[in-house]
Amino acid sequence: MNQQCKRLIVMSCIAILLLAPSTAWSAGEKRAEGEAAVQSELAPSSRSAILMDADSGTIIYEKSSHDRLPPASITKVMTMLLIMEALDEGRIKLTDKVSTSEYAASMGGSQIFLEPGEQMSVDEMLKGIALASGNDASVAMAEKIAGTEAEFVNMMNKRAEELGLKNTHFANCNGLPAENHYSSAHDIAIMSRELLKHNEITKYTGMYQDYLRKSSEKPFWLVNTNKLVRFYSGADGLKTGFTTEAKFCLTATARRDNLRVIAVVMGEPNTKTRNAEVSQMFDFSFAQYMNHPIFKKGDPMGTVKIEKGMQSELQLTAKHSYSVLLRKGSSVKDIRYELKLEPLKAPVTVNAPIGKLIVYQGDQVLTEFAVDAPVSVERAGWWKLLKRSFGGLFS
């Protein structure tokens, strides 16, 4: 081989080496552009949309998610949240009988055709709300919990404020068209996430069909208005909505492996498009993401001391799962967490914020979770505090 040929071969090799990194970077750019393109195509027919990891609250995708829009029957997510919280606090029981007022029975739209004076259990009313989107059942439950629908609506708006929902205001408990009644896809995702902390709710929202008045002369067949619970693997909620003004809306949730996601779409043109676009949002989530667990429900998290309380300290356990959202294939070696708790002084109210759980990847904060008091703790009397002080001296 002559000298000129050798020089040509060397120059060719150098050119290949110089071009190789540029080619790899270009491929990486194309992958990133491809992912962005996929996301930009999610829920194209919707007026507003959001896709959220239920555990961490991480937003995967959003489109005009803070726009104030009529939520229609998705309103009932907040109604069901207040019902579940009343059950947790012992203010009502699933077996309690709920009487139907003339006003509740007069509701139009979606209903379970309650008659004035008719009684159903809280359990049955929840089925009527979750499956059939019963406007009458929603008002009956509002009156059961708060005495009047108006007072229940005040509770809804107060809870929305506590959750930090900036673009939500309720005028009723069922979503029938009303002035000054609005929400946003983002706010609906937040309240849906809060509702899902009550694991029992998917027993209702994930059911496809059931009966009310089954043993009576007029049994009523319930079929879930959210068809995804039957036709999409892992879907088990949450709530559909439709009015002429709102068009077709849906807040939906699905779980596969350790990952649960919430998809909200508003202003879709029809049910077929709505269901197809939400299914695509789910597909994208489960294909691209995974959850890394920090605590599972019931896991011990730590203890917090309480000054002058009937209890000197509280054992904290996870009320729900805590996890972080990661791209599939991501390394989890450098993920760590820190529990930061505020010094507490009695009295302490159940669900009051007492600190936060911070999750890091290296030095970067991935997410933060609020930590609430698991129970109420009353202030101890002087005699108990005195005995505790002497016990400390002699221990």
User: For the chain, how many structural domains are there in total?
Assistant: 2
Given pLDDT bands bounded at 50, 70 and 90, which one contains residue 392? Answer: low
Q: Among 183-197, 266-280, 368-382, where is mean pLDDT lowest?
A: 368-382
Residue 35 located in a structural domain: no
Q: Residue 157: helix, strand or coil by DSSP? A: helix
- Same domain, yes or no: 190 and 314: no
pLDDT, tens digit, 9 for 90 and up, residues 208-218: 999 999 888 88
Given pLDDT bands bounded at 50, 70 and 90, which one contains residue 25? Answer: very low
pLDDT at 32: 43
Last residue of a domain, one of 278, 293, 308: 293
Residue 39 located in a structural domain: no
76 is catalytic: yes
Residue 20 located in a structural domain: no
Last residue of a domain, one of 255, 270, 293: 293
Residue 77 located in a structural domain: yes
- Other C-beta atoms within 10 Å of 177: how many? 14
Task: Confirm if 135 and 106 have CB atoms less than 8 A apart.
Answer: no
| Amino acid identity at 285 | S
| pLDDT of 105 strictly over 70 | yes
Last residue of a domain, one of 293, 313, 333: 293
- Mean pLDDT over all residues of the chain? 88
Given 48, 110, 133, 323, which residue is catalytic? 133
133 is catalytic: yes
Given 46, 56, 73, 321, which residue is catalytic? 73
- Burial (CB count within 10 angstroms: exposed 0-12, middle 13-18, buried 19+), residue 274: buried
Q: Which residues of 1-32 are buried (b: 16+ CB within 10 A; e: fewer)?
A: eeeeeeeeeeeeeeeeeeeeeeeeeeeeeeee
H or E segment and range at residue 27? helix 3-40
- Same domain, yes or no: 64 and 126: yes
- Same domain, yes or no: 308 and 288: no
What is the domain-level CATH number for residue 275? 3.40.710.10
Peptide bond into 347 cis (omega under 30): yes
- Same domain, yes or no: 91 and 235: yes
Which domain range does residue 160 map to? 48-293
Given pLDDT bands bounded at 50, 70 and 90, which one contains residue 391? Answer: low
233 is catalytic: no
Residue 355 located in a structural domain: yes
- Same domain, yes or no: 266 and 304: no
- Same domain, yes or no: 227 and 309: no
Given 63, 76, 144, 239, which residue is catalytic? 76
What is the domain-level CATH number for residue 354? 2.60.410.10
- Other C-beta atoms within 10 Å of 219: how many? 10
Peptide bond into 357 cis (omega under 30): no
Residue 31 located in a structural domain: no
pLDDT, tens digit, 9 for 90 and up, residues 209-245: 999 998 888 889 999 999 999 999 999 999 999 999 9
Give me the half-sphere count of Cα atoms (radius 13 Å) on the Cβ side of residue 76: 34
Sequence-ordered list of residues with C-beta below 8 angstroms from that of 371, at least 6 positions apart, any chain: 301, 316, 339, 341, 353, 354, 355, 356, 357
Report field, pTM of the whole predicted structure over 0.75: yes
- Same domain, yes or no: 76 and 220: yes
- Same domain, yes or no: 135 and 213: yes
pLDDT at 136: 97
- Same domain, yes or no: 336 and 187: no
CA 51 centroid distance within chain: 11
- Same domain, yes or no: 282 and 337: no
